[in-house]
Structure 1
Amino acid sequence: MKTFRVASLCFLATLGLVAAACAPVTPGGGGSNNLAPVPVLTATPTSGDYPLVVDFSSAGSTDPDGSIATYSWNFGDGSPLVSTADAIHTYTTAGSFTAKLTVYDTANKSSSATTLITTTTPPANVAPTASASATPSVGKVPLLVNFSSADSTDTDGTIASYSWDFGDGTAASTAADPTHTYTAAGSFTATLTITDDDGATDTADVAVQVNANVGPTAAANSNVTGGQVPLTILFSSAGSTDPDGGITSYSWDFGDGNGSTTANPTYSYSIPGAYVATLTVADIEGETDSASINITADAIPNVAPTAVAVATPSTVRQGLAVSFSSAGSADSDGTIASYNWDFGDGGTSSIANPTHAYLLAGPFVATLTVTDNAGGVANATTTVTVTPNLAPTAAAAGTPSSGKQPLLVSFSSTGSSDPDGT
């Protein structure tokens, strides 16, 4: 006897008889006409070391005569059931587990599918290996250092964290490759601590030497150290050095209120005197040093003036004026600043061309002194002869010399004379 399902009726193909409606037994219950859903279970991965995270999927599950209404996941390790279409589950112990997906259609008919998940005990964690480097590792304060953990490794996982102790009491850094500035001189040990994804740690040290700055040394030079003004000097800083860096600035003080910021200046002294020229050099850290040169600027030797004294007249009767002249007096390298006359009879004058009357007879030497603008002095003399005054001779005549009164007389001085004058 054969049974055929046609629509919702069952037929008995024997003797042409039609059997009564029937409902064959199907898994999971449901009406006699309902077809069971078809589950499809996919798991990725299906094996590995615990903790093993597995992605479960019901994609592809179908219901031939309807739709899937609910899902039920049993992961086989005693954990609670999950009712989502897809699930993620973590197996935390070693073993073999049968994961089962059960799907239910709208008539509550169900079907199940299973897969085997195998987990194994993971090998013991291998600690990471720390490697620390510093660039530069030696320098002068302040020293900026680039630290690197680039060669640190973890053979069975990943490095989860970094911690740098710079060894100078400052705050640690959690960057893999930090930079740090050392602000004090000394020997420091920077320590790198790394931690892997299983919590194992390792450390590595790197030495950093920070040296104190050594100041520069100044050397001041000049082509000459003395001479007459205007005195032009070529100054030089050759020989100035800085043993651990470079000289960044030069400052010259010429000692007369002037200066220069060039390394090798040229300067001219225009005023006589003694000067101290000082060079100050500075390095990149601001430390300085100075060196000095003594400079003597001499005045040009003064040429004394020339004095010329002339008296007109050179012979004169006492009481009469004499004109004195300094014409012809000169100063070849400057000017005559003052004139002083001593007339030889106690009289003086400070004008260039005075007049003077001698009240006494005799020879007198008049002296002219001229002084130039640099203090040079010259003298010149001239002799004046003063003769005594002779009395005049009087001659008197009257015409007539006698007669009766009233008598008109004409008087005459004819014959009167003055032998040395009028």
Structure 2
Amino acid sequence: MQSFAGRSAAIICVVAILSLALGTAVANDRAGPIAAFTYNPCVMCAAPGDVVFFNASYSISPIGNIVSYTWNFGDGSPLLKTNSSSATHMYGGLPGKWQVTLTVQDSNHQTDTVSQLVIFNVAPRLTFQPANPDLGQTVLFNASSTIIYFQNPPTPPEFQWSFGDGTNATGTVVEHVYHTAGIYRATLSVVTTMGNATISKTLIVGQDPPRGGGGAGGGRAIPD
């Protein structure tokens, strides 16, 4: 028969293991929102300036709704604060690229900020499959629909990926496996002679999408 001391030691060991496991889970669980956005330059728009459409619907909060989106368009214009995940901005033309910053706030008053270079002559495109991968499942990231309207000299672009878990890759189409469940911000940078045009999206790995994690209207809008 196991002694009382032996049983106590076993219980302590189990508690220690559970505490370590729970601590790891908490460390990998993000409580605040994650900001992410894409952009689409309207090169064919008949406008006096450069019109750019912004989409932040991939921003997400795991424990609440995103209630506000604050845009700094990087051209000295006033900040735009809105409860809509989409925004349109008209730039004055040159220099044709701007460092755009988005800050999101959720219903728990938590915030997150992301800053990305927007280049009018580059339209980065980022897709991934599956949409909500399981833990350990291979995710296919694809940038082949990216459009470069003009580049001088016409050098082939390079596609750089950051998967949000500390790992990176290069290539038009790449594969990645996540080993920890959670919400990640995947970032694509299109490296050109004009600069690195960048967009980002979030993806949920190994867990159900949070309720109302997207825009202020509830739910998570999925852009094209």
TM-score scaled by length of structure 1: 0.21
- The structure with higher relative contact order (CA 8 Å, sep 6+) is 2
Structure of greater Rg? 1
The structure carrying a bigger strand percent of its residues is 1
TM-score scaled by length of structure 2: 0.38
The structure carrying a bigger helix percent of its residues is 2
